[in-house]
Structure 1
Amino acid sequence: MTGKELIFKTLRHEKTERVPWIPFAGVHAGKLINVNAKEILTDGDKLFKSLLEVNKLYRPDGQPIMFDLQIEAEVLGCELMWAEDAPPAVKAHPLSETKEVPCTCMLPQKNDGRIPMVLDVMKRMKKEVGDTTALYGLTCGPFTLASHLRGTNIFMDMFEDPEYTKELIIFANEANKKMAEYYIEAGMDVIAIVDPLVSQISPRHFKQFLLNPYKDLFKFIREREVFSSFFVCGDATRSIEVMCQTNPDSISIDENIDMVGAKEISDKYNIAIGGNIPLTTVMLHGTQQDNMKYTLDLLDKLSHDNLIIAPGCDMPYDVPIENTIAVQQTIRQPDEVRKVLENYEFVEEDIEIDLPDYESLEKPLVEVFTLDSATCAACTYMMNAAKDAKDYFGDRIDVIEYKFTIKENIARVKKMGVKNLPSIYINGKLKYSSIIPNKNELLTAIEKEMK
């Protein structure tokens, strides 16, 4: 049985001989051919070469072509900020100062921006590995895309102008349909709607603004006889059930969510679930054995029906190649790996962290704990909320970001007892965990800490 057949059986909710494996090697693919993230996200030949290397080294059952949630945003007028080892981030939002809904004439077209490059690579990959590997086309989900257009104002809009918010999300949903249509024509087997900011809103707001658009979107995909997947990042625990109610073929979650509890919910709806190997503590900073142990534990504690093993999200650029291979080996040869791990002991680095004397601070300290605001959309908008507060208060407050990709910050997160990313602490006290505050809320919370 090919990997593609294995993925298809899983997404049809049938019994399989083993659990399938999908490495989300977006920018990390560039590392395999020694080019940076921007090069593979803008140069079709380099992207194609890197994807073939992913396919050869990691032996995936399913494989994404492009993991960049800014393709649609760029076409719709968002200004991007590029990095060498991460996908671009949106730095300017065309609707931040005006409540407009773009007309349907502005929906992404096949010849816009980087879309032609992506479609060409999709067709080339389909021809090269499409018989054996299930190919995933990823689009930026409607809420995150609407946020790219409107900026952090959208979190205020949900309360103050719900009708405008609905209209903007409907437009973004139509953009998703367009992208899905193009990707299906290019031969994609699975359309994955990647909407990280879903984790930053309540189930009530999900039902109010996203439930019906998502039902419509997954129906649209299913009518075209391809599979669908609903990707979310961050702690979307409270929204797993309502995500399942949108009726995708699968959902994909990251390390912020308990996989066992989430799978109990997805099994109730007979929906496949994928995830959730930690990106930094295990894949980036762990050893081969750490990766084997985490993967084996996932396999041992979860029923194998309706299950896909994958990184929690887009793999960091510098994940050691041997760590990803270790995950693949564990999935394919669990009994052999079990023997390798007989004498395994987890070794934690002893990094000394000094916390501020929060009681003696002269002005409020806003600490933002993120996976990395340059690569994680939810983290970007959490950090942007803090930056807006800094712009408002100026030197009367201090703002600092702690990125979970840095070992010292991992130790700080553990010492502080931070449970979910992204989170905002003010003077050492948790204020917002996986919920992006609107501007007025955050300003009020900071003002309460003013001396």
Structure 2
Amino acid sequence: MTMTPIQRAEALKEGRRVDRMPCAPMIAEYAACFAGVDLRDYLHSAELIADCHIKCYRHFGYDSVGISPMAGLAEAMGGTLAYSPDTPPSVLKHPLSSWDDLDQLRPPDPLKDGRLPLYFEAMERIRDAVGHEVKVGSGMGGPMSVASLVIGTENLLMAMIKDLIRCHQLLQFSTDIIISYMEICAQRGFGCSMGDGLLSKSLISTRLFRQFVRPYLQQIADWYRDRYGRSPSMHICGDTKNIWLDMAEIGFGRLSIDDMMSLAEAKKVVGHISSLKGNVSPTRVLLFGTPEEVREASCRCLDEAADNPKGFMLSTGCNLAWGTPPENIQAMLDAARIWYKENRGV
């Protein structure tokens, strides 16, 4: 018998048998690709965002549906984006051109500014259609990612060395934006995960992370627990082994890690504190591999982390790439079913 994601989650929580391991590839804008929709049209229509995700979910039946405005934050604060038919938008002009203008910057209103309101409408549409089967929510960047949208990554990193006060000011501003967005999600009954692509040790040292980023992540995690009554989840890109324990100590109840990282190592370091999620390669395996290679990679992830003390969800190491063959996504879900049958019994 095939379970819905909500039924599967409830059964796992109660220690009952399920039909397969939880599996939720990071779909993001791939939903538009799957539905055959130009990304420029998708990003400007709540109806299209919802329709694409509903169609994609109904085809594959993965375990969560989420959408994120991310680059749209820059646009909502007066920045300019470059749009493409098959590539996520990039920032052409940041809202803040000079640190001297920081005091003039105003936070966006998630219900009024730019394309942000589209995401709440889209979430409502998705929930109306499939919310009885699967949890529907949103995602938001972490303080570093949001701050980089405001002034640019290079300027942000330089300020950590040359302009500490204004750097902290911008990170607090970004934290307030994140909490504001999450608050509206909470008011409407949606969860909101977080992701930050700028926490890799190739970009920021452990010392700078603890000085500049950890305090703001702590604010968000504390707020989230108080508001939602549970711990938030976090996706971190790149080589982040140096901060895994920090993230668990901050209070992130689930860590989603990049495919360049070892789930087995993460389990040893933080598995007693946090659930894990990951980490099949979205490019090397899912975009360019065969279904058999996808199944093998997925089963390796399950072998490494399915017994994580705080739980595990099979996923990708980052967002799915445009053009990923649908049969490869199906192979990932098939692997979750095959592995469970062979290792846990049905």
Question: TM-score, normalized by length of structure 2?
Answer: 0.89
Identity of aligned residues (%): 24
Kindly provide the CA deviation profile for residues 393-443 of structure 1, in whole angstroms up to 9, marking residues without a partner as x.
xxxxxxxxxxxxxxxxxxxxxxxxxxxxxxxxxxxxxxxxxxxxxxxxxxx
- 1:315: which partner in 2? 320
SS state at 1:274 partner:
strand
Instruction: Judge which range, 322-331 or 79-88, deviates more.
Output: 79-88
Q: CA deviation at 1:78?
A: 2.1
Matched, 1:249 2:250: no
Checking the alignment, whether the CA contact within 8 Å between 1:292 and 1:337 is kept in structure 2 is no
Tell me what 1:262 maps to.
Answer: 266
Distance 1:147 1:32 in 2: 30
Show the counterpart of 1:274. 277
Residue 192 of structure 1: aligned partner: 193
Inter-CA distance 147–70: structure 2 relative to 1 (3 Å threshold) = same
CA pair 110-21 structure 1, distance change in 2 beyond 3 A: same
Matches within 5 A, 1:116-127: 116-127=117-128
Q: Say which SS state the counterpart of residue 112 (structure 1) adopts.
A: coil
Q: Distance in 2 between matches of 1:57 and 1:135?
A: 16
Check conservation: 1:7, 1:134, Cα contact below 8 A. no
Partners in 2 of 1:51 and 1:102 — Cα distance?
Answer: 38
Aligned partner letter, 1:281: R
Deviation at 1:7, TM superposition (A): 4.6
Q: Does 1:286 align with 2:289?
A: yes
Moved more, 22-31 or 96-105: 96-105
Letter in 2 for 1:228: P
Q: Distance in 1 between matches of 2:16 and 2:256?
A: 19
Distance 1:9 1:180 in 2: 28
**3-state SS of paired residue (2:269):** helix
Which digits, 9 at most, give the CA deviation of each residue in 1:172-201, with x for residues without a partner? 00000011012222331x311111111121
Q: Aligned letter for 2:304?
A: K
Letter in 1 for 2:224: I
Question: Are the aligned partners of 2:286 and 2:325 in contact in 1 as well (CA < 8 Å)?
Answer: yes
Contact 1:191 1:221 in 2 (8 A): no
Compared with structure 1, are the counterparts of its residues 169 and 7 closer, same or farther at alpha carbon in structure 2 (3 Å cutoff)?
A: farther
C-alpha distance in 1 between matches for 2:124 and 2:336? 29
Question: Alpha-carbon deviations, 1:358-387, whole Å to 9, x = none?
Answer: xxxxxxxxxxxxxxxxxxxxxxxxxxxxxx
Q: Secondary structure at the match of 1:30?
A: helix
User: Take 1:7 and 1:202, find their aligned partners in 2: how far apart are those partners?
Assistant: 37
Q: Is 1:57 matched with 2:59?
A: yes
The answer to whether the Cα contact below 8 Å between 1:13 and 1:271 also exists between their aligned partners in 2 is: no
Change (3 A) 1:337 1:285: farther
Is there any run of 5+ residues in structure 1 with no aligned partner, and where? Answer: 339-451
Instruction: Return the letter of the residue paired with 2:270.
Output: S
Residue matched to 1:300? 303
Does the alignment pair 1:42 with 2:21? no
Cα 1:96–1:240 shift into 2, 3 Å: farther
1:142 has 2:143 as partner? yes
Partner Cα separation in structure 2 for residue 7 and residue 144 of structure 1: 30
CA distance in 2, matches of 1:197, 1:303: 27
Secondary structure of 2:23's aligned partner: coil
Aligned residue in 2 for 1:223: 226
1:327 aligned partner? 332
Partners of 1:38 and 1:227 lie apart in 2 by 34
Following the alignment from structure 1 to structure 2, what is the Cα–Cα distance between the partners of residues 197 and 330? Answer: 31
CA distance in 1, matches of 2:114, 2:185: 15
Q: Secondary structure at the match of 2:258?
A: coil
- For 2:105 and 2:158, the matched residues in 1 are separated by 25
Q: Partners in 2 of 1:13 and 1:197 — Cα distance?
A: 37
Q: Secondary structure at the match of 1:85?
A: coil
SS at match of 1:210: helix
Which amino acid is the alignment partner of residue 262 of structure 1? Answer: A
Tell me whether 1:109 sits opposite 2:82 in the alignment. Answer: no
- Figure out how many residues of one structure are paired with residues of the other and give that number: 334
Q: Distance in 2 between matches of 1:16 and 1:173?
A: 40
Task: Give unmatched runs, 5+ long, in structure 2.
Answer: none
Distance 1:15 1:208 in 2: 44
What does residue 88 of structure 1 align with? 89
CA contact (8 A) 2:96 2:105 kept: no
Q: Distance in 1 between matches of 2:225 and 2:164?
A: 29
C-alpha deviation, 1:238, in angstroms: 1.7
RMSD: 2.4
